[in-house]
Amino acid sequence: MTLREVCGLTTEQVAAAFLTTAPTLAQRIVRAKSKIRDARIPYDVPERSDLPERLASVLHVVYLVFNQGYFSQAHLALEAIRLGRLLVELLPEPEAIGLLALMLLHDARRATRTSAAGELVPLEEQDRSQWNHAQIKEGVALVERALSSRSFGPFALQAAIAAVHAEAPTAAATDWQQIAGLYEVLLRAEPSPVIELNRAAAIAMRDGPSTAWH
């Protein structure tokens, strides 16, 4: 409901973010509104002491907005980055810093992600000279800041993986050993089939396809 009512995404966009249909998502929003109305839940600006426990949900929303913009509407991605900067100023927690780094590192490749015909260009085929290297430098510095805290989480780990890709001068020079290790840590922090698949792909790039099957 936050994505729809506060961030202004359409029902279809929110449904795509949650991998569901628009009618199903619309029903969820209606039920949520009814619950708020019937329970007379007020809208209150949280006290500063309440912010840390709400941070994870806010970071998730901002990242969903970024993803929507990253794949279709650049202005949404830029707005998510702006919100990420505000969050780091307000609550400079490792995961807030990690999310900002992750968004900056992904967005740094925006100019090379699609061809003139609008087709997606794989990472290994992108023209790295056209990446936003100032943005990459800022993102890498934020990753180092987040990881130095020793209390980082999934966003910081994903940003670290993105940083390894971004710093490689060529696709062939990618440090797959480091990426595979980071995916191993990420898998323990946030188990999911997608992370498991990405980890297997990294191992395949490092050791060969046959090793990745085991």
pLDDT tens by residue, 31-56: 766 776 777 766 666 666 667 778 88
State the pLDDT at residue 27: 74
pLDDT at 185: 95
Q: Distance between CA 50 and CA 34 in Å, rounded? A: 25
Question: In this predicted model, what pLDDT tens digit does every residue of 102-152 receive, in sequence order?
Answer: 999 999 999 999 888 888 999 999 999 999 999 999 999 999 999 998 888
Name the band, by pLDDT with cuts 50, 70 and 90, for residue 180.
Answer: very high
Burial class (CB in 10 A: 0-12, 13-18, 19+), 117: exposed
| For residue 7, pLDDT beyond 60 | no
Check: pTM over 0.85? Answer yes or no. Answer: no
Alpha helices in the chain (DSSP H): 11-17, 22-39, 51-71, 74-90, 94-107, 133-147, 154-167, 176-189, 193-207, 209-212
Measure the CA–CA gap between 117 and 140, rounded to whole angstroms: 31
Q: How far apart are CA 138 and CA 131, in angstroms?
A: 13
Q: How far is CA 129 from CA 126, 171, 179, in A?
A: 9, 12, 22
Q: Name every residue whose Cβ is closer than 8 Å to that of residue 74 and which is 6 or more positions away in sequence.
A: 110
The burial of 168, by beta-carbon neighbours within 10 Å (0-12 exposed, 13-18 middle, 19 or more buried), is given as: middle
